[in-house]
Each structure stands twice: as C-alpha cells, then as structure tokens.
C-alpha cells in the first residue's frame, strides 16, 4: 500500500491519556457521585434514526470493508452512503459486475444499517481522457450520446439489481466544484440534466425509488438557484449538501433556512427533504484536509468533540439525515480526485485506516447514536444559561454563548448543552448557572448529568436549588461547567441499568 509514513504514524503516536487529561473535565471533582456509564446499542437494536456514516470509495479500494463491518455494526448508525463506482462495475462494455456492491449492501442490511447509493463518476471505456482508471469526477454528458446511453444503461441495471434493497439514490458527488466535475467547469444546468436522465433510468426499473440531488460541496447560492431554475426540484425527493467547517454549528440554522425557502419556492408544493449528507473532522492536523479546511491543532479528542457537536447541531437544525464522513480513514490506496494527482490520505475516519482500531470519536458517536435515535423527540423545553456573579453568589446575569438542544425521551426531558468555540482552541470550561423548568407532564425526579466524552452519568441532585424571579418559581438552578463538548441534563429513569448494577 502506498501510504505516507508521516501521516500514517501521526494518529498512532498520539498519547490519548495525556490528551484526555489536558482537554477533558473530571466531573467527579464537583463532588458528584458517578452512578455508572451509558450503555450503547448496536445498530440492529435501534429501530430508527437520522444518523448515518460514509461508507464510500470502495470502488477505489480505499479501505478494507471486511475489517470495518464488525465495528460499524456496534456504532449505532442507521444509514450508510455507498458510492457505486461505474468504472469498477463495468470493465467490459455492456457487462456489469455488481457482486462487490451486493456484498456491501447485504452486509450493511444484516447489521441493521440501511445503505443508500451515490451514483458516481465516469468510466474510462466512455469518458476518455480521465486521469485515472476510476474516472473520478468525469461526467458522461460531455462525451456524446454513446456515453450518455451507457450511463443510463448502467444506472438502469443497478436499479434492476437493487430495487428491493436500496430506497434512496443520490446523483453524483459535489458537482459544484472542479475536483468532482470534469472535463469542463461546474455547470448547474448540466448537473440538473444529469439528475434528470439518472432519475429516469432509476425510476424506469424502480418506480418507488427516492432521488437525492445536490450532493453539493458547502452551499453555493448561485449554483443552487441556477439548478433549481433549471428544474432540479422536479426530479428529486431530497436535497443533500456538505457544509464542512471548523466550528460545527457555524451558520447551520441560516443555511438550512435558506435551503428550505429556496427549495420550497421551486418544489411546486412537493415535500422535499434536506440532508446533511457528508461532514467530518480529521483526528490529526496533517493529511488531505489540512490545507482546504484550515486545520491548525486537531487530534483525536478534538475530533471526538467535533463529532458529538456536529450531529447534535444537525438534529437541532432539523436535517432529515445527518451523516458523518467517514467510517474509516481513506489510506488503503493513493487518494485521487478528478485531476488524477495523488493527495494526502483522508484522516477523518472513526476507525484507524492502518490498525483498524476504533478512534476515540467512535465511542463518543456510539453514545450519541444510542441516546438520539427516533425515541428522542425534538421538543423545545424552557432553559436559561446565566453567568454567576462572583461578588453576589446568589445572583447571575444572562449568558448568550452556549449552544443547547432539547428533546423528550420516554417522557423524560433531555437537555444537551456545550460551549461553541472552535474545539481546536481547547478552551477551558466555563462555569454557568443553568436554570431549567421541567413540565409537570415530564418525568424529572432524579436529575443526572451525562458526560458524552466519558459516558459517565452523575447524580446532580446535590447541586439543585429552586430558582425564583419576582417571587415566582422559574425552575431549578444548577451551577455547572460549560465545556466545549456536550453534557446532558436528564432524568435517571433513562438509564435503568444504573440501578440494577
């Protein structure tokens, strides 16, 4: 395997215990009793969820799927994005080999993870001049009727083979950037035509199929509006985009609201989902993402914080799917995009691309998946974050910086909160007063605090005091830390195993 030794060894050389000590809090120092740890669930034991993971690039052999399946089954995700790779499927004109894709699909389904297809990339038999055998990013539209018909035949053959196993069919990957749209510049009208002919080919064999369009790198309003004007919304059931950013929560509500307004305007009254279809954070600074993502100080702890914040922020924003990229580091083969040049390995995986051991982010995402499946229903609960007044300990002032998202799970409130600084800054935790009101219809008899980085559950009742304003009870107040990773205030009834152990 052609790896870069410096990149390969960087993750392995991280001293995780030291990094944890430097960046994580010990909530037991508040004098709280640890009641136990969150029990995670495998994907098979989770009925439904919006959380998924990338399981991509296997058309280019970028990781060893056999070594990933056992771990992925324990992760708790319910969705996986799989690229179909035309060049690997059709190596002789008119003859298709889908055995490798069938194995992926069947293994994922057996483990309780639903795959969806990303119909992707060219084929050197038809898209001549591609810089690599995989023809990454080369668009059949630009190579005449022969290539277009070959693409349609390939997509139809896929639909015939997988119509009983694949519900969602995404067209292309990041068509708005030149890394994945060749040999000409990205063109929203041409992309819309590709979606149109691809959707026709799928639905000819699989009328109930759901078509996903967009797959857009970040959010480019001009590209989006041009595609919608060209009729994109007429052909799709969901729109996906990939808002990569250093601060995971940055501008999400604005982007989602803008997309919702624009898509609704052109949808003709049809309901179209909006997906966060790809997003990730590397576990080390050096790698494929160090230049364009602007990394400066990341590691496995930063990645784990980022993952938890990202998925929770996506759920708060309202995305119909929230996918983390990627299941494993992409370093099994040299990584290339449309220009054919070898890039640095992609080190965003939840699993080491060399040792195939789970990274720290893996266990953190396990906890998020187990607690934020469809049983946790997004509900707005009443809460306030106040800054303690040192001079007058019983007083406090409003604090506007925390991020919070609230749910109701099994009739218990579930409030998650964190500080929103760039996790690479590794800022120490602040101290806050959290004022929380639990409705009388909810079960909130034994308040506990959950630390998603460690999985520990703490009895927070000793910190609870009534909070009054102008003589009226507003709720309970808790003096708590505010770290740059999620904590959750909820009821111990969500963790019955804590009382039986």
pLDDT at 387: 80
pLDDT tens across 432-479, in order?
Answer: 999 999 999 999 999 999 999 999 999 999 999 998 888 888 899 999
Give the lowest-confidence range in 4-18, 186-200, 259-273. Answer: 4-18
Query: What's the rounded Cα separation, in Å, for the pair 18 and 111?
Result: 35
Query: What's the rounded Cα separation, in Å, for the pair 157 and 95?
Result: 10
Delineate the domains of the chain, giving CATH numbers in brackets: 48-371 (3.20.20.80), 377-500 (2.60.40)
Question: In percent, how much of the chain has pLDDT > 70?
Answer: 95
pTM metric for this prediction: 0.95
pLDDT at 5: 41
**CA proximity to 28, closest of 355, 333, 316, 459:** 459
Helix, strand, coil fractions of the chain, as percent rounded to 5: 35, 25, 40
- 183 phi and psi angles, rounded to 5 deg: -95, 0
Q: Which residue pairs from 122-125 have beta carbons closer than 8 angstroms and sit at least 24 positions apart in sequence?
A: 122/86, 122/87, 122/182, 123/86, 123/87, 123/90, 123/150, 123/151, 123/154, 124/87, 125/90, 125/91, 125/92, 125/93, 125/150
- 100 phi and psi angles, rounded to 5 deg: -65, -35
**CA proximity to 8, closest of 361, 404, 459, 331:** 331
CB 304 within 8 A of CB 364: yes
pLDDT at 2: 43
CB 35 within 8 A of CB 495: yes
pLDDT over 50 (residue 425):
yes
Query: What's the rounded Cα separation, in Å, for the pair 356 and 349?
Result: 10
The most confident of 3-12, 47-56, 382-391, 429-438, by mean pLDDT: 47-56
pLDDT at 1: 40
As a whole number, the mean pLDDT across the chain is 94
pLDDT at 44: 98
How big is the CA angle at 26 (ends 22 and 31), to the nearest 5 degrees?
A: 150
The DSSP string of 233-293 is: HHH-SEEEEE---SSTTTTHHHHHHHHHHHHHHHTTT---EEEE------SSSSSTTTTTS
pLDDT tens across 263-318, in order?
Answer: 999 999 999 999 999 999 999 999 998 888 989 999 999 999 999 999 999 999 99
pLDDT tens across 142-167, in order?
Answer: 999 999 999 999 999 999 999 999 99
Average pLDDT of span 79-88: 98
What does the chain come to in residues? 501
pLDDT at 500: 53
Average pLDDT of span 123-128: 97
């Amino acid at each position: 395997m052609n790896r870069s030794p410096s990149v390969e060894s960087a993750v392995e050389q991280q001293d995780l215990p030291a990094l944890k000590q430097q960046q994580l809090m010990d909530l037991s120092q508040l004098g709280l009793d640890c009641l136990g740890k969150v029990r995670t669930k495998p994907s098979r034991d989770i009925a439904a969820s919006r959380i998924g993971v990338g399981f991509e690039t296997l058309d280019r052999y970028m990781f060893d799927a056999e070594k990933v399946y056992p771990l992925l089954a324990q992760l708790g995700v319910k969705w996986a994005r799989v690229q179909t790779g035309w060049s690997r499927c059709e190596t002789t004109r008119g003859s298709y080999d889908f055995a490798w894709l069938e194995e992926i699909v069947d293994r994922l389904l057996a483990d309780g993870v639903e795959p969806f297809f990303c119909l992707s990339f060219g084929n050197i038999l038809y898209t001549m001049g591609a810089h690599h055998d995989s023809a990454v990013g080369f668009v059949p539209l630009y190579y005449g009727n022969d290539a277009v018909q070959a693409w349609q035949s390939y997509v139809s053959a896929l639909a015939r083979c997988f119509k009983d196993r694949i519900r969602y069919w995404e067209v292309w990957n990041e068509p708005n950037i030149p890394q994945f749209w060749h040999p000409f510049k990205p063109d929203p009208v041409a992309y819309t035509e590709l979606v149109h002919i691809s959707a026709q080919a799928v639905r000819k064999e699989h009328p109930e199929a759901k078509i996903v369009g967009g797959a857009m790198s970040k959010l480019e309003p001009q590209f989006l509006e041009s595609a919608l004007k060209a009729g994109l919304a007429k052909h799709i059931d969901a729109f996906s985009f990939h808002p990569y950013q250093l601060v995971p929560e940055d501008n999400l509500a604005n982007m989602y609201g803008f997309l919702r307004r624009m898509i609704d305007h052109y949808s003709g009254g049809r309901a179209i989902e909006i997906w966060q279809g790809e997003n990730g954070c590397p576990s080390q600074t050096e790698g494929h993402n160090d230049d364009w993502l602007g990394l400066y100080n990341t590691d496995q702890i930063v990645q784990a914080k980022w993952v938890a914040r990202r998925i929770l922020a996506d759920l708060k924003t309202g995305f119909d799917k929230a996918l983390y990229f990627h299941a494993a580091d992409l370093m099994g083969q040299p990584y290339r995009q449309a220009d054919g040049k070898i890039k640095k390995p992609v080190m965003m995986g939840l699993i080491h691309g060399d040792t195939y051991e789970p990274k720290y982010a893996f266990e953190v995402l396990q906890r998020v998946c187990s607690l934020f499946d469809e049983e946790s229903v997004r509900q707005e609960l009443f809460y306030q974050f106040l800054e303690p007044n040192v001079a007058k300990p019983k007083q406090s002032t409003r604090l506007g910086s925390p991020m919070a998202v609230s749910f109701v799970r099994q009739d218990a409130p579930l409030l998650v909160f964190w500080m929103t600084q760039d996790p690479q800054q590794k800022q120490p935790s602040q101290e806050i007063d959290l004022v929380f009101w639990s409705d009388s219809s909810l079960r909130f008899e034994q308040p506990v605090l959950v630390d998603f980085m460690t999985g520990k559950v703490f009895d927070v009742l000793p910190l609870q005091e009534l909070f009054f304003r102008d003589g009226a009870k507003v709720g309970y107040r808790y003096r708590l830390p505010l770290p740059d990773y999620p904590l959750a205030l909820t009821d111990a009834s969500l963790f019955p195993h804590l009382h039986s152990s």
